[in-house]
Every structure is written in C-alpha cells, then in structure tokens.
C-alpha cells in the first residue's frame, strides 16, 4: 500500500476538496482524509501511478506539493536536519559576509556550492577567508538581528519529540549558530564547523576536520547506531548538494525548497509547504501538532 499526500503552504491555504477528490478518483484511491483543512490531505493507493511526476509538475503550477510513499513505516523515530535555508530562513555565512562588506562575493560562492557546482570544503574555506578580521561580537549581532526560524520548525520538533523521536541538527555552517538554533527549537544535539577566533576577531579559517557532505552521512550512521534504530526510521531534511548523502540514505529524504539539482535526486520534494510538511507526510494531522 502507498499513501498519497497533497499539501500546500499553511500561510496561504489553497488545497481544494475538488482537486483531492479528482486525483483520488483518477488513481482509484481510498477515501481522502484531511490532515488540515485546505492545507493537507491524504489517501491510500494499492499501486504506484505511472504518471506520478507528470501530475507532480501540474500540481506545482497550483502551488501544491505531492508526495507518494510506502504506507508502512511512515512515522519516523529520528529527525536529521540541515540548518541553513532549512531550519532557518538564511545562510549564516552569507549574513556574516553582509556585515563584513563582502556579501555579494560570498553569496555567489554559496549558491554555486549548494547547487553542487563547487567542492564544499574549498568553497567554505574560500568564503571564511573573506571574513578575516570580523569582530567576534558580530556573530551575536547577526544571530539576534538577521536570523529567523523557518515556519513550522517549532511544531515539527515539538510534535516528533512528544512522540518519542530523537532530533539532530547537522550543518556545514557554524557551531555559534547551530547551538542557538538547536536550543531554541529543542534539538537533542547539534554538529557544525567551528569558526576560529584570535584576539576577539575571526582568523579567516575554521577548525579541522571540516564538516561537509560526509559528516552528515557519518552523523546518520553514528546516531542511528547509538539509538539502536535503522536508517529507514529516519526522516532527513535539507536543501543543498552537501545534504544529498543523508537525504538519499535516510528512510525519508525531504528536499525542502531545494536547489533543482538536489530536488531531482529526492522523491519527497517540498517546494510550497513549510516544515510542518514533514509532519503531514508522516501522517500527523494538525490536531496532533505540539508547540
């Protein structure tokens, strides 16, 4: 059995009953269940439709996301999440670069790295070098004035944790940011790169080893082994090329507002919903949400 989930942006509800019913009828699905009025619904199917991605493309034009997955084992025991442009709405290194006066140069490198056009480690060291001399205190200022949480994050963490799940934040960004975001959202642990500081200013380098794509896969392997769960029991979410390793290994890999080259590698692509989409695809309804 398979579950079909249709969802949209909760801030702009646009999922119509007629649309859900017409697709359910066309595919021979069971009666639809609404997870949130005008926002998310699901129904069951016996077999995968052969026109899944054509329908997905059509629904994208209507600002509706479509996810089809095996019904069994949808609800996961662990969340493994990227931070930049996933749990927060910004790229922390881009925001630091803005206050350092090198914003445009760094943003260009970031975009190319996240799209898989550049080696992650090389791109990171090149960008961090441009931050040399920035006062350490600017990190706190950026955190307080330029960083905002992605909508739905608090509900995602609170709901999964209330149902016994473990949550890990694993970022190619920096510990100064992951520590605050993890504490605010309720992650059980966080891993990231450490900006090196001397005499109160950034040195333009990061501690080694650099945490990139393989570090996220390692986190998946290490934490699941420690918890005694399988990788199939993990839902991972990210948006960049350095997330692909964990996204393709986890039981459910969610490309959230991802770069096209990243989304193309993932079966769960959320372009319109917020982080509550990760709850809807696990079968949680709005009435189940915490936080």
Q: Do the strands 40-45 and 2-7 form a parallel or antiparallel pair, or are they unpaired?
A: antiparallel
Q: Which two tokens stand for residue 268?
A: 């769960």
Tell me the pLDDT tens digit for each residue of 89-131. 999 999 999 999 999 999 999 988 888 898 899 999 999 999 9
Residue 184, Cβ neighbours under 10 Å: how many? 14
Q: How confident is the model at residue 47 (pLDDT cuts 50, 70, 90)?
A: very high
Give the residue-averaged pLDDT of 173-198.
97
| Residue 116: per-residue pLDDT | 86
Give the CATH number of domain 1-72.
3.30.70
Shortest CA distance to 142 belongs to which of 171, 174, 112?
174
Cα torsion 181, 183, 184, 185 to 10°: value is 80
| Residue 118: per-residue pLDDT | 86
Give the residue-averaged pLDDT of 147-166.
98
Q: Do the strands 252-256 and 268-270 form a parallel or antiparallel pair, or are they unpaired?
A: parallel
| Residue 59: per-residue pLDDT | 98
Per the DSSP assignment, residues forming a β-bridge with 170 are 191
> Any idea where the domains of the chain sit in the sequence?
1-72, 76-291
Tell me the pLDDT tens digit for each residue of 272-282. 999 999 999 99
| Residue 105: per-residue pLDDT | 93
Q: Is the domain covering 76-291 a CATH 3.40.50.1000 domain?
A: yes
How far apart CA 177 and CA 171 sit, in angstroms, is 9
Contact 84, 36 (CB under 8 A): no
Helices (H) and strands (E) in the chain, counts: 12, 12
Instruction: Indicate the angle between helix axes 175-185 and 137-145, nearest 10 degrees.
Output: 40
Give the residue-averaged pLDDT of 221-226.
98
| Residue 115: per-residue pLDDT | 86
Task: Give the residue numbers annotated as catalytic, written as ranges.
Answer: 82, 84
Work out the mean pLDDT of the chain and round it to a whole number: 96
Handedness of CA 72, 254, 121, 131 (dihedral sign): negative
| Residue 250: per-residue pLDDT | 98
| Residue 126: per-residue pLDDT | 94
């Amino acid at each position: 059995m398979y579950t079909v989930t249709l969802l949209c942006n909760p801030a702009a509800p646009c999922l119509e009953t007629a649309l859900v019913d017409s697709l359910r009828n066309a595919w021979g699905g069971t009666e639809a269940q609404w997870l949130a009025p005008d926002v998310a619904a699901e129904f069951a199917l016996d077999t995968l439709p052969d026109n899944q991605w054509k329908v997905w493309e059509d629904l994208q034009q209507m600002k509706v996301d479509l996810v089809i997955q095996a019904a069994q084992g949808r609800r996961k025991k662990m969340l493994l999440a990227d931070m930049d442009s996933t749990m927060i709405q910004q790229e922390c290194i881009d925001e630091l670069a803005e206050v350092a006066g090198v914003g445009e140069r760094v943003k260009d490198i970031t975009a190319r790295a996240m799209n898989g056009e550049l080696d992650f480690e090389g791109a990171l060291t090149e960008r961090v070098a441009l931050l040399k001399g920035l006062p350490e205190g600017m990190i706190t200022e950026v955190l307080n004035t330029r960083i905002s949480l992605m909508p739905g994050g608090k509900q995602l963490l609170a709901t999964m944790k209330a149902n016994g799940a473990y949550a890990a934040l694993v970022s190619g960004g920096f510990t100064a940011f992951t520590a605050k975001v993890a504490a605010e959202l309720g992650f059980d642990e966080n891993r990231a790169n450490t900006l090196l500081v001397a005499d109160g200013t950034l040195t333009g380098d990061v501690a080694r080893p650099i945490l990139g794509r393989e570090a996220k896969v390692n986190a998946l392997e290490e934490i699941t082994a420690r918890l005694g769960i399988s990788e199939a029991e993990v839902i991972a979410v990210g948006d960049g090329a350095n997330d692909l390793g964990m996204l393709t290994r986890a039981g459910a890999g969610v490309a959230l507002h991802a770069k096209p080259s990243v989304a193309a590698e993932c079966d769960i692509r959320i372009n319109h919903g917020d982080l509550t989409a990760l709850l809807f695809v696990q079968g949680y309804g709005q009435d189940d949400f915490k936080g």
